[in-house]
Amino acid sequence: MPRRPAHWLLWSALAIHLPIALVCAARSSQPIYDFERYYEIATTAGRPYLDFPVEYPPGTVLTLRALATAAGGRGRFGVGLVLISVVADAIIVAALGWGWGAAAAACYALIVIPIVDLFFLRADLWSTALVAVAVAAWQRERRSVCGLSLAAGAALKLWPLAFFVLLLAPDRSRVRLMPIVAGAAAGAAILGGWMWMAGWSGFYQVLTFRGAHGWEIESTVGSVWMLVSRSSMRVESGAWRIGTTSGLTSTLLAALAAAPCLWSIWRGGRTGHLGAGWIGGVSALLALSALLSPQYAAWLAPGCAIAWVQRDRRLAVLGALAIFLTNLIWKSFSPLVHGATAPLVMLLARNALLLFIAFDAARMLASAPVIGPALIARCRPRGAVTGM
């Protein structure tokens, strides 16, 4: 895309993000379940994970508690949450521009417009921003920055852990040790602090979403279960769930999703199809998760932008379509819960699409040639600075 039209599209898209952010800030003091839950975590007396259950990693917990202390009340707390998400949105745009140019930043900004109001009213842009910075730093050969940013992202949500495999992808025909050491040391420090704070019970609470015993209705299994029978639907751990599962089942499902997810991301780095690897890996992770909240679509969006500028256009469009379908499902959530057919059909189609994207990306990545040192420089944006 020529530079000037790309900049026009970028600024036009961001001009739409801004009023949406202002509306979300105005709404943030109203009863919103996620914000009420964040405030409960931030203000409950005692030790998180031990004295009361928490479904988020320690970085999110500490951020929420610090924000509640600074805000001094629920109203300002909500505005602060929206502000952090707006800053995260800007960081994603800046990271994509740094790594792949204005076209990638514009692509992301356009893709998320229909659903960015949801993203501003949740916390998933925070970890997504750190992953975007990490992957852009990897692209720019700032591998230590990549490792540190991924460790920080994993402190907010667990899914950025999958991107650590990028540090194992060779740089100019060799794997560099220092970025791996830096990322591992930062991750070990965060994990050690978490274990000191809560022990293994904290990790279990996050992995099982406070020990929930049902499939979230928007997950792949949950949506099929809804097609068969709705008799077991109920609200559990703050989400509509159906059927029964266990902590062991959730753990095994996460382990099953890890293999295709890690391979896709690693192979994307090895073949120069980083966006395709991002989309394929995250799609596999989402499709095999027991919990698939609509805000998780934020995890896909930067990968779609990268895939577009790397000319993996089919995967970029399919990923954007999955995000758009998620937006339609979220805006039809009440009819979905009450048995409407159209939202369930869209939900089943979205989940089938995620499975297809994961398969299609894996097929493409498996056949793509590994890039050598000469092509690494060509895949890097102009003006890139090597080192670190």
Half-sphere exposure of 65 (CA within 13 A, CB side): 14
3-state SS string for 71-126: HCCHHHHHHHHHHHHHHHHHHHHHHHHHHHCHHHHHHHHHHCHHHHHHHHCCCHHH
Q: What local confidence, expressed as pLDDT, does residue 237 receive?
A: 81
pLDDT, mean of residues 363-370: 92
Task: Please give the share of the chain, as a percent, with pLDDT higher than 70.
Answer: 93
The answer on pLDDT for 3 being more than 70 is no
Tell me: pLDDT of 174 over 90: no
- Cα 114 to chain centroid distance, Å, stands at 17
The two tokens of residue 380 are: 């890097």
**Would you state the pLDDT for residue 334?**
92
Residue 281 binned pLDDT confidence (cut-offs 50, 70, 90): very high
Asked whether the CA dihedral 132, 138, 141, 144 is positive or negative, the reply is positive
Segment 196-216 shows an average pLDDT of: 83
What pLDDT shows up at residue 304?
Answer: 97
pLDDT, tens digit, for every residue of 306-338?
Answer: 999 999 999 999 999 999 999 999 999 999 999
pLDDT of residue 387: 33
Distance CA 331, CA 41 (A): 27
CA angle 111, 113, 119 (to 5 degrees): 100
Q: What is the pLDDT of residue 56?
A: 93
Based on its alpha-carbon atoms, the radius of gyration of the chain, rounded to whole angstroms, reads 20
SS3 236: strand
**What pTM was estimated for this model as a whole?**
0.92
pLDDT for the residue 185? 87
* Predicted pLDDT of residue 246: 72
In the chain, the percentage of residues whose pLDDT exceeds 90 is: 67
Terminal alpha carbon distance of the chain: 30
Given this model, what pLDDT does residue 388 score?
33
Kindly report the average pLDDT of the chain as a whole number.
Answer: 89
Q: Which helix (H) or strand (E) holds 313?
A: helix 313-331
Chain segment 287-302, per-residue pLDDT in tens: 998 889 999 999 999 9
Confidence of residue 59 (pLDDT cuts 50, 70, 90): very high
Distance CA 267, CA 355 (A): 18
